[in-house]
């Protein structure tokens, strides 16, 4: 029996890596739907190769253009557009598993639709849990959806936890979760030099190939901060049970420390196809197309504490997690606005954290009871960030 797969964000780095793994196992997977935003040429090529039943794009104009591109190759592919279509393909009866790989807040509706429909969710969109942790996890519990982490760090922790772990640290003798971070391109850059950082430099990650937004998040270490919040919801870990360590080689992807002093770690080459294949095949192990880890070539492995003076975004994420309620959603919203302004040349690199800190200060604390609360927190966080940044044109 093949697994029906919908890929939300098929044209991004996670989406393309997912399809690379899927192509290696045609007997195991059937692509039901692919979605893309702006890279229509890439989406068209994917549709020709995998012949999905559905393709989803952003606008009616994009749908018309994609239809022309596929007129002679994918006559059975139904082309949809808009946000509602993302939710539709995430909850189709013929969809068994959903790769949730749309970046940022835009990925939440599709991920949440998959949760409500009780799907197997391969979660690469960490913002779903950062923005709407209590709401999202309540839907997972209600529907019986299966949630498998795709971020290399959380996937490593998942692999290092006891089988059947249900969030009880004391029962399983777990002391803490240790998230590793490469430190990004500015790990050793003096803080005074960060004032002159360009978008090109911030996007030049030393180990991983990622999109521009997540590359900037890695450079500020906000990406690791968002992963701390994600780990809280995925594994039921209080903030004091989550540690971050800088590991420049990106070979040890994360660790779990136990009360007896044991530390279990997952190691591998820095290639996202490994966690993707793990989640796609779970509980089986399937070929990811990733070469063997050469420990001799990897050389010495180093570990060091993060410098919160150089990376204040990480400290802000811990503060938001401890504050709870709408604070993580505000943090995420302000970060998205600030990063976009930086990439557009309207905000200095060091001001990203200042914009986020200001938003956390000015947006009134509130609980998250439902999606209306989540969307209001997101709106207020974005408004506060835009007010701090000022006119950009």
50-79 pLDDT, tens digit per residue, is 999 999 999 999 999 999 999 988 889 999
Q: Of 86, 120, 149, which residue is a domain's last?
A: 149
Q: Of 149, 174, 207, which residue is a domain's last?
A: 149
- pLDDT given at position 377: 97
pLDDT confidence tier of residue 244, bands split at 50, 70 and 90? very high
Beta bridge partners, 122, equal: 99, 148
Q: Does 190 reside within a domain?
A: yes
Q: Are residues 107 and 202 in the same domain?
A: no
- pLDDT given at position 54: 98
Alpha-carbon 108 to chain mean position: 11
Q: Are residues 36 and 104 in the same domain?
A: yes
55 vs 35: CA distance, rounded Å: 6
DSSP conformation letters of 298-366: H-----B---TTT-HHHHHHHHHHHH-TTHHHHHHHHHHHHHHHHHTTSS-TTHHHHHHHHHHHHSPP-
Q: Are residues 189 and 229 in the same domain?
A: yes
Q: Are residues 138 and 199 in the same domain?
A: no
Q: Are residues 144 and 162 in the same domain?
A: no
Alpha-carbon 45 to chain mean position: 24
- pLDDT given at position 201: 87
Q: Are residues 174 and 67 in the same domain?
A: no
193-221 pLDDT, tens digit per residue, is 888 888 888 887 666 666 788 889 989 99
Q: Does 27 reside within a domain?
A: yes
Q: Are residues 185 and 256 in the same domain?
A: yes
Q: Are residues 183 and 142 in the same domain?
A: no
Q: Does 106 reside within a domain?
A: yes
Q: Does 364 reside within a domain?
A: yes
- For 63, 74, 75, 113, the CA distances from 71, given in Å and listed in that order, are 12, 6, 6, 30
45 vs 88: CA distance, rounded Å: 22
- pLDDT given at position 1: 83
- pLDDT given at position 206: 67
Q: Of 97, 116, 149, which residue is a domain's last?
A: 149
pLDDT confidence tier of residue 393, bands split at 50, 70 and 90? very low
Q: Are residues 76 and 108 in the same domain?
A: yes
pTM (predicted TM-score): 0.92
Other C-beta atoms lying within 10 Å of the C-beta of residue 246: 19
- pLDDT given at position 207: 63
Q: Does 316 reside within a domain?
A: no
26 vs 301: CA distance, rounded Å: 37
- For 100, 189, 191, 274, the CA distances from 219, given in Å and listed in that order, are 23, 11, 12, 23
Q: Are residues 38 and 91 in the same domain?
A: yes
What is the DSSP-derived secondary structure letter of residue 179?
E
Q: Are residues 60 and 30 in the same domain?
A: yes
Q: Does 348 reside within a domain?
A: yes
250-259 pLDDT, tens digit per residue, is 999 999 999 9
* Mean pLDDT score across all residues of the chain: 94
Average pLDDT over residues 347-354: 95
290 vs 273: CA distance, rounded Å: 7
If phi > 0 it is left, if psi is from -120 to 50 it is alpha, else beta; for residue 390 that is left
Q: Among 260, 353, 280, which Cα is nearest to 311's?
A: 353
Number of structural domains found in the chain: 3
- pLDDT given at position 209: 60
For 161, the domain range is: 157-269+292-298
* 219: CB partners within 8 A, 6+ apart: 184, 185, 186, 197, 202, 203, 205, 349
165 burial (CB, 10 Å; 0-12 / 13-18 / 19+) is middle
Strand-strand pairing, 120-123 and 97-100:
parallel
Tokens of 338: 């600030």
Instruction: Report the CATH number that the domain containing residue 338 is assigned in CATH.
Output: 1.10.1740.10
Q: Does 45 reside within a domain?
A: yes
Q: Among 99, 102, 98, 46, which Cα is nearest to 77's?
A: 46
140-186 pLDDT, tens digit per residue, is 999 999 999 999 999 999 999 999 898 999 999 999 999 999 988 88
Q: Are residues 102 and 187 in the same domain?
A: no
| 15-24, 195-204, 362-371: least confident range | 195-204
Most confident listed range (7-21, 181-195, 379-393): 7-21
């Amino acid at each position: 029996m093949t697994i029906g797969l919908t890929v939300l964000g098929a044209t991004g780095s996670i989406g393309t890596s997912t399809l690379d793994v899927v192509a290696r196992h045609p007997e195991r997977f059937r692509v039901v739907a692919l979605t893309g935003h702006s890279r229509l040429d890439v989406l068209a090529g994917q549709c020709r190769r995998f012949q999905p039943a559905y393709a989803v794009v952003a606008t009616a104009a994009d749908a018309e253009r994609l239809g022309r591109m596929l007129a002679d190759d994918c006559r059975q592919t139904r082309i949809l557009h808009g946000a509602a279509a993302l939710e539709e393909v995430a909850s189709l009866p013929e969809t068994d598993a959903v790769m949730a790989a749309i970046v940022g807040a835009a990925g939440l509706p599709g991920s949440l639709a998959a949760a409500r429909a009780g799907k197997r969710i391969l979660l690469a969109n960490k913002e779903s849990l950062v923005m709407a942790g209590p709401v999202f996890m309540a839907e997972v519990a209600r529907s019986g959806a299966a949630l498998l982490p795709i971020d290399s760090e959380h996937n490593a922790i998942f692999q290092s936890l006891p089988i059947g772990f249900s969030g009880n640290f004391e029962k399983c003798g777990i002391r803490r979760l240790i998230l590793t971070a490469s430190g990004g391109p500015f790990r050793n850059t003096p803080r005074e030099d960060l004032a002159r950082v360009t978008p090109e430099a911030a996007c030049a990650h030393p180990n991983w190939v990622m999109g521009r937004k997540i590359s900037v998040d890695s450079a500020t270490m906000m990406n690791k901060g968002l992963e701390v919040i994600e780990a809280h919801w995925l594994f039921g870990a209080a903030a004091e049970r989550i540690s971050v360590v800088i590991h420049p080689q990106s070979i040890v992807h994360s660790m779990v420390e136990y009360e007896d002093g044991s530390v279990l770690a997952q190691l591998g080459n820095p290639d996202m196809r490994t966690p993707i294949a793990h989640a796609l095949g779970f509980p089986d192990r399937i070929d990811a197309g990733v070469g063997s880890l050469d420990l001799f070539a990897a050389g010495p492995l180093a570990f060091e504490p993060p410098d919160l003076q150089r990376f204040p975004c990480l400290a802000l994420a811990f503060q938001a997690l401890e504050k709870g309620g709408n604070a993580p959603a505000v943090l995420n919203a302000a970060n998205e606005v600030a990063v976009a302004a930086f990439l557009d040349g309207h905000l200095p690199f060091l001001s990203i954290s200042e914009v986020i800190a200001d938003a956390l200060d000015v947006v009134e604390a509130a609980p998250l009871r439902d999606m209306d609360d989540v969307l209001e927190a997101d709106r207020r966080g974005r408004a506060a960030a835009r007010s701090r940044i000022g006119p950009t044109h």
